[in-house]
Chains A and B, each alone.
Chain A
Amino acid sequence: MWRGFSHLLKKDFRMMISGKFFLLALLSLCLYSGYINFVYAKLDQKIFPVCLYDPQGRLPDVSEYVTKLDSREALKAACADQYSVGIDLSHAEPEIYMLSCGMETTDHYRMAWGEAILHGNVDGQAERIGANTREMKNRREITAEFLFFELTAVGFLGLASMLFKEKQMGVIRVHGILPVCRGVFILSKLLLLLCSDLVFTILLTVINLGVSEAVEALVGVLLQAGILSLIMALVGFLCAVRLPDFKQFSLFYLILAVFVTTPVFLAGQTGMKWNWIVYHPMYHLFEAMKGAFFLTPMTKAPYYLACAGTIILLFLLSYQTLNREMAKEG
Chain B
Amino acid sequence: MIEARNLTFSYGKEKQALHGLDFSVEDGEIFGFLGPNGSGKSTTQKILTGILKGYGGRVSLFGEDMQSGHTQAFFQKIGVLFEFPYLYTNLSALDNLHYFASFYPREQRRDAEELLDELEFKKDFLNKPVSSYSKGMRQRVSMARALISNPRLLFLDEPTSGLDPSGAVLFRKIIEKEREKGTTVFLTTHNMLDADLLCDRVAFISNGTIAVLDTPRNLKEKNSNHSIVIDYLYQGRREEQTIEAPDMKAGIPFAYDELISVHSQEPTLEDMFIQYTGRGLS
Chain A residues with CB under 8 Å of chain B are 1, 3-4, 7, 11, 14-15, 18, 165-166, 169-171, 173-174, 176-181, 326-327, 329-330
Contacts and interface: CB of A to CB of B under 8 A. Distances in A.
Contact of B52 (A15, A181, A327): A327
A3 B82 contact: no
20 contacts: A3-B102, A3-B103, A7-B99, A7-B103, A11-B88, A15-B90, A165-B90, A170-B84, A173-B86, A174-B100, A176-B50, A176-B51, A177-B49, A177-B51, A177-B75, A179-B72, A179-B104, A180-B72, A327-B52, A330-B82
Interface string B50-87: 11100000000000000000001111101010111011
A169 B88 contact: yes
Interface residues of B, number: 28
Interface in B88-125: 88-91, 99-100, 102-104
Contact of A327 (B51, B90, B99): B51
Nearest to A18: B90
Nearest to B80: A177
B145 interface: yes
Contacts of A173: 51, 82, 86
Contacts of B46: 327
B28 to A, nearest CB: 21
B87 A171 contact: yes
Nearest to A170: B86
Main DSSP-derived SS at the A contact region: helix
Given A7-B102, A7-B103, A174 B89 contact: no
A171 B103 CA distance: 14
A166 B18 CA distance: 30
Nearest to A7: B102
Contacts, number: 66
Nearest to A172: B86
Given A176-B51, A179-B76, A327-B51, 17 more contacts: A1-B72, A14-B91, A15-B88, A15-B90, A18-B90, A166-B88, A169-B86, A169-B89, A171-B86, A177-B50, A177-B51, A178-B75, A178-B103, A179-B104, A181-B72, A326-B51, A329-B42
Interface of B: 42, 46, 49-52, 72-76, 78, 80, 82-84, 86-91, 99-100, 102-104, 145
A176 B86 CA distance: 12
A24 B89 CA distance: 22
Nearest to A178: B103
B102 to A, nearest CB: 4
Contacts of B78: 177
B102 A171 contact: no
Nearest to A329: B42
A69 B50 CA distance: 86
A84 B265 CA distance: 104
Contacts of B76: 179
> Considering the complex of A and B, which 10 residue pairs feature the smallest CB-CB distances, nearest first?
A170-B86, A179-B75, A179-B72, A7-B102, A330-B84, A177-B80, A179-B76, A18-B90, A178-B103, A176-B51
